[in-house]
Amino acid sequence: MTELKTIGDDLLPEDLLLVTHRHFSRSVMVLDGIIDQIRAGDLGRAKDVAEQLRHLSKALQAALEERARVEKLRRQETGAAAGQALDFAAARDEIGRRLACLRAAGNG
């Protein structure tokens, strides 16, 4: 979706994700309206279904990409590595263990 990329240059990832979700919602509403017209017997807009499905597919793809991008940025901001936050308790225990080893080696 080139349109989203050009407007997204000056937007925060969360804002771009919101825009993408709005676009997706609008496409769903348009498709729903077309389906209602077809059910009512107006087959003139039947050809628009494929176009709206393409729009939905693009919007969904963009939403998923932006969601992944936002999640990656959040992990980076919180200091998470490989999808996991730092375990300070484990780090403290490891430091204590190593200090104990150094103390034991110094007494020998």
* pLDDT given at position 41: 84
The least confident of 38-47, 64-73, 82-91 is 82-91
Does pTM top 0.75 for this prediction? no
Is 9 a residue whose pLDDT tops 50?
Answer: yes
Spatial distance between the Cα atoms of 61 and 68, rounded to a whole number of angstroms? 11
* pLDDT given at position 1: 41
How many domains, the chain? 1
Is 5 a residue whose pLDDT tops 50?
Answer: no
Mean pLDDT, range 82-97, rounded to an integer: 80
User: What is the residue range of 40's domain?
Assistant: 2-107
For residue 81, the 8-state DSSP code is B
